[in-house]
């Protein structure tokens, strides 16, 4: 899994590329993997204001819809016009061609809450561990249960 | 011949020539100009001159031109590509796929039911009105409620109607409220109907035993909550044991209780919602009362209410005046009309016939057998699949794919593999609180032999998941089509046939 | 079986249900009846209704007596169609899915619209859902809905019921004029930049064919959306389809297309719109795709609009719809085909206009509206009640009295003539009612 340097990352799995006063935003490789095949992307309009931690759009797979949360506040300057007709671009190239919006930052302090690539890589590793731990715990419980049941059946 | 070119196939996959469009043609793909199955002598044309040319059309471009036998073959062949209750066991949880008796079809087709016009006037529809009146009484008795309206066309429309009744009642009391409490196990129509009715939804969680705690309700219940929507048994197949206490909590603060009656097949003769503190409920006649599902309807979703909500029931209403039935179109406090005419009358006739056929004791026996069959399956499969909740189940049971996940096999794969064994899969991935849910509802109309066959298939698949997981993951292998690309259908929606011959385009 | 699950009786399976509930749960209904007794009971109820099989009926008003080819029932009676469920497992539901894809196509062709869903409950709820859909599309500053009073009264009632719970919407009625069409002067006067949409019947409740072009221009002038509502779907075989007027949404009742009258239900509502709005549509949508080996197949698609995924943010709450009825219409339209559907519509037109002339010619009835009509028209006559009674004695239902919805049309009778009313029958109607 990739975690490009030079990008900032949010807990909701968005990435941010800061250039001067503007930020380009997309969702990370981990996010697109969790979502599966993306079939539709809802984006804000140019000129709209987005608010940090509020949803600014949504990403749809066949059986689910996920809100995309603003990692920073700002005004939308540009949206990726590849995405309406080719939403799968996010699956193919989440950090490059799969960018979603470009905004003018309203408060540079917003960036302080974001993680760098190493912190985010750790964060993702933790998420995966937690999932596995849950699986393991449940498996152990089941093994015990099953043994009990098999005893009863006899 | 209109050949359909695949102009929208922008995906790089190259289907094998011999398999391309191997399925049946579409109606529009085999045309011979001028054919029609209906022969009707031409009449002296008249009246056309009275309509301005600007309001007239050309022939309908692309409309089929087929003979009767061609049409029959087309649809007969299509029908053979469907699973159905009458060919396969169909244990869809929460759908109650029981046998649809043929006598219901015969009586629904009587000309005195099928060829009657809704605006003929009460005087000329006494038989129909008697049936509707009687059916209302039967459903009221079965549910222990006071009054029924047969207007809503489906369960979801019943939900919307029920919520509208609550809203109207509270507005009448000068106490309009804003929110509805909906459990996490609720069917998606519950929050959707709430939103349509202008309410905000507060979701509460079921406890570790799969039911709602009165305490959880008390925590969110306040004077801004109009009602709680509760399903009983819930979508986990479990009886909501705390329902009476929950009703008290809600009523004490001026709210009302809505029961989603989709799972009534578990309750007939066992418990009546009217005694549980329920103020309004809906029924699904195409579930509990055997009317055919039709591939997605028509159904019917009558609502039943207790005293506080009677005045608000929709119109039209049927009343009895001495020996005659009358239609009431205006009632001052009614929420109004929710559907044109008299609801899905043809469906109501079938349900009526079913209830007459079974009688009170027969309906109670149906629920008892539904419980027996579900518990039998549950017991027989609980070593092969993880049971979601170790609680007594009612008419349906839920498993997960936890055991099979160890080999990378998911609920979806198990479902698709069941198709190869000739069974329609259970409901999958619902309710959302159970990861990888497999919800099995056999209903009472299945024999032990059928259940044993299904159990064997499920056990075999559990074995395959261990010994040959790829076989399961690539399923289905033997159906008329393999797994379909749903992502492609959503990305590039092709929702109609289109001709590629310019001269044919309308 | 009980021993297999370790229980002594079925009762044990629900002992956890509170006793106080169990004790009172007995269903007090008579015992079940044999099949032949059920048949006799139902047949005797059916015999107490006036049906088109025994009487001559000239009733329209949104439900129509049309010929249904025998092959339609033969197909929809097939258990593979009638006893299957909503096609959530597409691999074993290709029959239903392909038929619905064909249905969607036929509705698009009939209405001239770009995309159709797989049907909703009825024409009335289709109209209500259309308004809800426009509400999702138009900005919050636009919340005024203008509805023609010439639109079916029950449809207006259902729309009002649905919208009552959404406090931001304002419904306004636009009167009709002497031609029987929506009053364009009033419409133009009332339309402004706060208007959300306009609904007109096509044809309307009086059977009058309104010209949608000036209505559309009026809407365009202020940026309101236009919804056409068709209760007699067969009319679209002859009339310029709504799509050619560039309406935004075309809805209506499909009962005329191969579905029995059945006291008004079940039938189905059709719902078609411009392609750009597809993600806002309610109801099921069937799409074409391929399987893992390249075969064409069909699936339910764009499901993320729907309640089972979006829950409270869904485009509608609709789940079970009217699929088998939509299938009946698909079979019907296939049997009639391009030439047949036009032929039947022409016969409707001819017989209705012939009857209209004969009735007016007799001298006791006069036409009420001057607008063009398809197979329904309004006549005014004196002593209407007696005339209608006299017809009943002859087993004739001459029309629907308009008084209950339009008090100013107290003496008005809405008369519908279809291909099922033979020439001799019509002569008999004229003799009986107009004397």
Neighbours of chain B (3+ CB pairs under 8 A): A, C
pLDDT band at A136 (very low <50, low <70, confident <90, very high): low
From B280, B264, B258, select the one nearest B201 (Cα to Cα). B258
Per-residue exposure over C313-339, b if at least 16 CB sit within 10 Å of its own CB, e if not = ebbbbbbbbbbbbbbbbbbbbbbbbbb
The predicted pLDDT at position B20 comes to: 45
> How crowded is residue C95: how many other Cβ atoms within 10 Å of its Cβ?
28
- Please state the rounded mean pLDDT for residues C396-421: 97
Answer yes or no: are the C-beta atoms of B262 and B193 closer than 8 Å: no
* Chain B residues within an 8 Å CB radius of C297: 23, 481, 484
Give the residue among B339, B298, B347 at the shortest CA–CA distance from B316.
Answer: B339
Distance (Å, rounded) from C-alpha B317 to C-alpha B330? 9
Least confident of B124-128, C100-104, C294-298, C315-319: C315-319
pLDDT at B40: 81
Cis before B288? omega within 30: no
Token output for C40: 């006799």
**Minimal Cα–Cα distance from C178 to chain B, Å?**
17
Q: What is the pLDDT of residue A154?
A: 37
Q: To the nearest whole angstrom, how far is the Cα of A86 from the nearest Cα of chain B? A: 8
Instruction: Give B193-230 pLDDT, tens digit per residue.
Output: 999 999 999 999 999 999 999 999 999 999 999 999 99
**Residue B357: pLDDT band by 50, 70, 90 thresholds?**
very high
- Residues 423-442 on B with a CB inside 8 Å of A are 429
**A: neighbours with 3+ CB pairs under 8 Å?**
B, C
- Cα dist from C114 to A28, B5, C244, C252, C273, whole Å: 36, 18, 11, 16, 6
The pLDDT tens digits of the residues spanning B232-278 come to 999 999 999 999 999 999 999 999 999 999 999 999 999 999 999 99
* pLDDT score for B205: 96
How close is the nearest chain A Cα to the Cα of C193, in Å? 22
Residue C243: closest CA among chain B residues belongs to which residue? B506
Is residue B437 within 8 A of residue B234, CB to CB? The reply is: no
d(CA C230, CA C124) in angstroms, rounded, equals 10
From B383, B487, B491, residue closest to A149, measured CB to CB: B383
Q: Which of the other chains make 3 or more beta carbon contacts under 8 angstroms with chain C?
A: A, B
Chain A interface test: which of C6, C304, C307, C315 (most A C-beta within 10 Å): C304
Question: What is the rounded average pLDDT of the residues B156-170?
Answer: 97
Name the minimum distance, in Å, from the CA of B168 to any CA of chain A. Answer: 33
Check C265 against B339: CB less than 8 A apart: yes
Name C228's bridge partners.
C200, C250
Compute the distance between CA of residue C424 and CA of residue C435 in angstroms, rounded to an integer: 16
pLDDT in tens, B168-187: 999 999 999 999 999 999 99
CB of C185 less than 8 A from some CB of B = no
- What average pLDDT does this structure show over C327-348? 96
Of A39, A40, A64, the CB nearest to C309: A64
- Give yes or no for B403 touching A (CB within 8 A): yes
Note whether B385 and B438 are within 8 A (CB): yes
pLDDT digits (tens, 9 = 90+) for A98-135: 999 999 999 999 999 999 999 999 999 998 877 666 66
Average pLDDT value for residue range B276-287:
98
Q: Is B308 helix (H, G, I), strand (E, B) or coil?
A: helix
- The whole-number pLDDT of residue C307 equals 78
What is chain A's length? 154
User: pLDDT tens digits, residue range B307-322?
Assistant: 999 999 999 999 999 9
**pLDDT for residue A2 is more than 60:** yes
Confidence at B37, pLDDT banded by 50, 70, 90: confident
Cβ-contact C259, C323 below 8 angstroms: no
Residue B503's pLDDT is what? 43
Average pLDDT over residues C121-147: 96
Render pLDDT for B330-341 as a digit per residue (tens, 0 to 9).
Answer: 999 999 999 999
B111 vs C52: CB contact, 8 Å cut-off?
A: yes
Average pLDDT over every residue of C145-170: 95
Residue among B352, B456, B283 nearest B135 (CA)? B352
Q: What is the pLDDT of residue B404?
A: 96
pLDDT in tens, B413-435: 999 999 999 999 999 999 989 99
Taking alpha carbons only, the member of C119, C90, C112, C120 closest to residue C287 is: C90
Q: How far apart are CA C359 and CA C435, in angstroms?
A: 10
Flag whether residue C108 sits within 8 Å of chain B, measured between CB atoms. Answer: yes
Measured distance CA(C139)–CA(A144) in Å, rounded: 58
| Predicted local confidence at residue A134, as pLDDT | 63
Comparing A111-115, B251-255, C152-156, C431-435, the range with the smallest average pLDDT is C431-435
**What is the average per-residue pLDDT within B44-51?**
79
How far apart (Å, rounded) are the C-alpha atoms in residues A29 and A35?
Answer: 10
> So what's the pLDDT on residue A141?
57
Yes or no, beta carbons of A65 and C279 under 8 Å apart? no
pLDDT in tens, C88-110: 999 999 999 999 999 999 999 99
Confidence of residue B31 (pLDDT cuts 50, 70, 90): low
Mutate to test the interface with C, among A42, A59, A65 (most CBs of C within 10 A): A65
Interface contact flag, C311 B191, Cβ < 8 Å: yes
**Is 70 exceeded by the pLDDT of residue B502?**
no
Judge whether residue C422 has pLDDT over 80. Answer: yes
Task: Test C266 with B346 for CB contact under 8 angstroms.
Answer: yes
Calculate what percentage of chain C has a pLDDT beyond 90: 92
Strands B179-183 and B225-231: parallel
How confident is the model at residue A142, as a pLDDT? 54
| pLDDT given at position B17 | 40
pLDDT band for position C283 (cuts 50, 70, 90): very high
**What confidence score (pLDDT) does residue B398 get?**
96
Mean pLDDT of the region A48-75: 92
Would you state the pLDDT for residue B5?
A: 35
Interface subset of A 51-90, CB within 8 angstroms of B: 60-63, 87-88
What integer pLDDT is reported at residue A152 of this predicted model? Answer: 46
Q: What is the pLDDT of residue C310?
A: 80
For residues B304 and B281, is the Cβ–Cβ distance under 8 A? yes
Q: If residue B372 lies in a helix (H) or strand (E), which one and from where to where?
A: helix B345-381
Is B208 at the interface with chain A, CB within 8 A?
no
Chosen for mutation from C18, C30, C85 (greatest number of chain B CBs closer than 10 Å) is C85
Average pLDDT, chain B: 92
pLDDT of residue A62: 85
Q: What is the pLDDT of residues C344-386, one digit of tens each?
A: 999 999 999 999 999 999 989 999 999 999 999 999 998 999 9
ipTM: 0.97
Q: How confident is the model at residue B151 (pLDDT cuts 50, 70, 90)?
A: very high
Is the model more confident about B11 or about B186?
B186
Residue of A nearest to B403 (CA): A139
- CA dist B9 → A29, B112, B319, B488, C290 (Å): 27, 51, 59, 9, 10
| DSSP-derived 3-state class of residue C230 | strand
Q: Other C-beta atoms within 10 Å of C193: how many?
A: 11
- What is the average pLDDT value for chain C, to the nearest integer? 95
Rounded to 5°, angle at Cα C99 from B63 and C95: 145
pLDDT surpassing 60 at residue B14: no
User: What is the chain A residue with the closest CA to C4?
Assistant: A153
Q: How confident is the model at residue B138 (pLDDT cuts 50, 70, 90)?
A: very high
């Amino acid at each position: 899994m990739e975690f490009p340097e030079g990008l900032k990352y949010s807990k909701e799995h968005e990435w941010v590329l800061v250039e001067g006063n503007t930020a380009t935003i997309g969702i990370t490789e981990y996010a697109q993997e969790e979502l599966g095949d993306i079939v539709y992307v809802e984006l804000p309009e140019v000129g709209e204001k987005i608010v940090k931690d509020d949803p600014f759009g949504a990403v749809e797979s066949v059986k689910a819809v996920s809100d995309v949360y603003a990692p920073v506040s700002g005004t939308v300057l540009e949206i990726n016009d590849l995405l309406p007709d080719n939403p799968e671009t996010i699956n193919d190239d989440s950090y490059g061609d799969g960018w979603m919006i470009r905004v003018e930052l309203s408060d540079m302090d917003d960036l302080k809450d974001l993680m760098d690539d190493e912190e985010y890589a750790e964060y993702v590793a933790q998420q995966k561990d937690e999932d596995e731990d849950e699986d393991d715990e449940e498996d152990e419980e089941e093994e015990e249960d099953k043994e009990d049941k098999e005893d009863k059946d006899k | 011949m209109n050949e359909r070119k695949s102009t929208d196939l922008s995906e790089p996959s190259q289907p094998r020539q011999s398999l391309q469009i191997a399925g049946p043609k579409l109606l529009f793909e085999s045309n011979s100009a001028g054919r029609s199955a209906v022969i009707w002598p031409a009449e002296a044309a008249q009246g056309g001159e009275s309509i301005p040319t600007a309001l007239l059309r050309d022939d309908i471009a692309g409309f089929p031109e087929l003979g009767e036998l061609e049409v029959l073959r087309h649809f007969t062949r299509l029908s053979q590509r469907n699973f159905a209750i009458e060919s396969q066991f169909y244990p869809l949880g929460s759908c109650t796929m029981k046998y649809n008796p043929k006598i219901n079809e015969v009586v629904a087709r009587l000309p005195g039911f099928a060829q009657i016009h809704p605006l003929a006037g009460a005087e000329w529809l006494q038989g129909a009105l008697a049936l509707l009146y009687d059916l209302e009484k039967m459903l009221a008795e079965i549910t222990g409620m006071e009054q029924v309206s047969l207007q809503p066309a489906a369960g979801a429309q019943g939900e919307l109607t029920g919520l509208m009744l609550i809203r109207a009642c509270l507005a009448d009391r000068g106490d309009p409220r804003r929110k509805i409490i909906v459990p996490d196990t609720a069917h998606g129509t519950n929050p959707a109907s709430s939103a349509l009715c202008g309410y905000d939804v507060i979701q509460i969680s079921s406890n570790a035993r799969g039911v709602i705690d009165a305490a959880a309700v008390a925590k969110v219940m306040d004077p801004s909550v109009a009602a709680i929507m509760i399903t009983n048994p819930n979508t986990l197949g479990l009886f909501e044991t705390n329902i009476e206490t929950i009703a008290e909590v809600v009523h004490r603060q001026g709210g009302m209780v809505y029961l989603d009656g989709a799972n009534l097949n578990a309750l007939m003769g066992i418990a009546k919602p009217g005694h549980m503190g329920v103020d309004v409920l809906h029924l699904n006649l195409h579930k509990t009362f055997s009317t055919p599902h039709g591939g997605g309807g028509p159904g019917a979703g009558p609502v039943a209410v207790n005293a506080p909500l009677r005045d608000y029931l929709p119109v039209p209403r049927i009343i009895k005046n001495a020996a005659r039935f009358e239609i009431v179109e205006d009632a001052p406090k009614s929420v109004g009309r929710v559907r044109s005419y008299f609801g899905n009358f043809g469906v109501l006739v079938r349900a009526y016939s079913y209830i007459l056929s079974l009688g009170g004791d027969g309906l109670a026996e149906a629920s008892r057998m539904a419980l027996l069959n579900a518990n039998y399956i549950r017991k027989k499969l609980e070593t092969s699949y993880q049971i979601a909740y170790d609680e007594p189940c009612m008419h349906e049971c839920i498993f997960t794919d936890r055991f099979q996940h160890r080999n990378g096999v998911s609920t979806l794969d198990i479902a698709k593999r069941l198709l190869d064994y000739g069974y329609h899969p259970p409901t999958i991935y619902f309710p959302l609180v159970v990861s990888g849910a497999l919800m099995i509802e056999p209903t009472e109309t299945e024999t032990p032999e059928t259940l044993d066959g299904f159990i064997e298939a499920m056990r075999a698949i559990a074995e395959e998941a261990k010994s040959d997981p790829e076989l399961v993951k690539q399923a289905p292998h033997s159906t008329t089509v393999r797994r379909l690309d749903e992502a492609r259908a959503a990305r590039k929606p092709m929702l109609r046939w289109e001709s590629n011959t310019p001269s044919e385009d309308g | 079986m009980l021993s297999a699950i370790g229980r002594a009786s079925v009762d044990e399976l629900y002992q956890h249900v509170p006793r106080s509930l169990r004790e009172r749960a007995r269903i007090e209904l008579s015992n079940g009846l044999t099949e032949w007794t059920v048949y006799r009971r139902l047949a005797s109820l059916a015999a107490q209704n006036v049906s088109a099989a025994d009487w001559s009926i000239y009733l329209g008003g949104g439900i129509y007596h049309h010929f249904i080819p025998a092959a339609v029932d033969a197909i929809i009676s097939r258990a593979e169609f009638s006893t299957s469920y909503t096609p959530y497992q597409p691999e074993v539901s290709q029959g239903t899915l392909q038929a619905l894809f064909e249905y969607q196509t036929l509705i698009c062709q009939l209405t001239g619209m770009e995309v159709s869903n797989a049907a909703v409950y009825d024409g009335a709820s289709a109209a209500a859902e259309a308004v809800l859909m426009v509400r999702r599309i138009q900005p919050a500053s636009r919340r005024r809905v203008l509805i023609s009073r010439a639109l079916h009264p029950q449809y207006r009632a259902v729309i009002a019921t649905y919208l009552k719970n959404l406090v931001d919407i304002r419904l306004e009625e636009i009167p009709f004029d002497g031609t029987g069409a929506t009053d364009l002067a009033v419409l133009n006067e009332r339309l402004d930049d706060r208007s959300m949409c306009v609904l007109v019947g096509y044809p309307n409740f009086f059977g009058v064919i309104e010209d949608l072009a000036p209505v559309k221009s009026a809407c365009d002038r202020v940026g309101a959306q236009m919804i056409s509502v068709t209760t007699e779907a067969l009319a679209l075989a002859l009339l310029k389809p709504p799509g050619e007027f560039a309406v935004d949404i075309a809805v209506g009742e499909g009962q005329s297309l191969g579905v029995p009258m059945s006291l008004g239900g079940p039938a189905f509502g059709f719902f078609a719109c411009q392609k750009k709005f597809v993600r806002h549509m309610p109801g099921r949508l069937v799409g074409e795709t391929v399987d893992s080996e390249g075969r064409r197949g069909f699936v339910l698609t764009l499901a993320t609009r729907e309640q089972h995924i979006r829950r409270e943010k869904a485009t509608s709450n609709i789940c079970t719809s009217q699929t088998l009825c939509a299938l009946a219409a698909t079979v019907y339209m296939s049997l009639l085909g391009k030439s047949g559907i036009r032929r039947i519509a022409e016969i409707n037109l001819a017989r209705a206009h012939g009857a209209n002339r004969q009735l007016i010619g007799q001298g006791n009835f006069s036409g009420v509206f001057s607008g063009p009509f398809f197979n329904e028209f309004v006549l005014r006559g004196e002593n209407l009640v007696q005339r209608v009674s006299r017809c009943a004695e002859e087993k004739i239902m001459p029309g629907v009295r308009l008084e209950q919805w339009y008090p100013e049309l107290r003496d008005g009778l809405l008369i519908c003539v279809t291909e099922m009313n033979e020439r001799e029958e019509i002569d008999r109607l004229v003799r009986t009612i107009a004397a």
